[in-house]
C-alpha cells in the first residue's frame, strides 16, 4: 500500500548507457514531480506534470525525458548517461499544484 513507489531502488550502469526509472502513485493525485538530490543532499526540481501535462522543466539536459502515460505514473528516461548524473532521484506527487508533496523512497543512480 505504498503511496509513491519507484523502481529500481538502485541502479548501477556504465557511461553512455540509456536507463529508465519508473514512478507510480496510488494517491489519486493530479501532479507528479522528479527531483534530483546530489551528493551534498541538495534537492532540486527537474520536472513537474499536472494531469499528464508538463508544467515545469528546470534547465535539465535534453538527455532527460519524462513520460507520463497516465496521471498515476511519471517515468524518467535518461539517454547517454554521464558521470555527473550520479545522484538520488526522487519522484513525488501532490493533489494539485501548490499542495503538499509526498515523496517516494528514491532511486540511487551510480554511473561508472
**Residues in touch with other proteins (CB under 8 A):** 4, 40-45, 48, 55-56, 58, 90, 92, 97-98, 100-106
> Distance between CA atoms of 77 and 87, rounded to whole angstroms?
15
Cβ at position 56, least distance to other proteins in Å: 6
Please report where in the chains the cell 494517491 appears, as a residue.
27
- Would you say 9 or 17 has its CB closer to other proteins? 9
Least distance CB 111 / other proteins (angstroms): 20
Nearer to other proteins by Cβ, of 65 and 105: the residue is: 105
Q: Cβ 5 to other proteins, closest distance in Å?
A: 10
Asked whether the beta carbons of 30 and 74 are under 8 A apart, the reply is: no
Closer to other proteins by CB, 15 or 55: give it: 55
22-38 core/surface letters (b: 16 or more CB in 10 A; e: else): bbbbeeebbbbbbbbee
In the complex with other proteins, the residue whose CB is nearer, 63 or 99, is: 99
Min separation Cβ 46 and other proteins, Å:
11
Let me know how long the chain is. Answer: 112
Cα–Cα distance measured from residue 67 to residue 96, given in angstroms and rounded to the nearest whole number: 18
Amino acid at each position: 500500500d505504498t503511496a509513491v513507489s519507484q523502481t529500481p531502488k538502485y541502479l548501477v550502469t556504465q557511461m553512455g548507457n540509456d536507463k529508465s526509472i519508473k514512478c507510480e502513485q496510488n494517491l489519486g493525485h493530479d501532479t507528479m514531480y522528479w527531483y534530483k538530490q546530489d551528493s551534498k543532499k541538495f534537492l532540486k526540481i527537474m520536472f513537474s506534470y499536472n494531469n499528464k501535462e508538463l508544467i515545469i522543466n528546470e534547465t535539465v539536459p535534453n538527455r532527460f525525458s519524462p513520460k507520463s502515460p497516465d496521471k498515476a505514473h511519471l517515468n524518467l528516461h535518461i539517454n547517454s548517461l554521464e558521470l555527473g548524473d550520479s545522484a538520488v532521484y526522487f519522484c513525488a506527487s501532490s493533489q494539485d499544484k501548490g499542495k503538499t508533496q509526498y515523496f517516494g523512497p528514491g532511486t540511487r543512480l551510480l554511473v561508472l
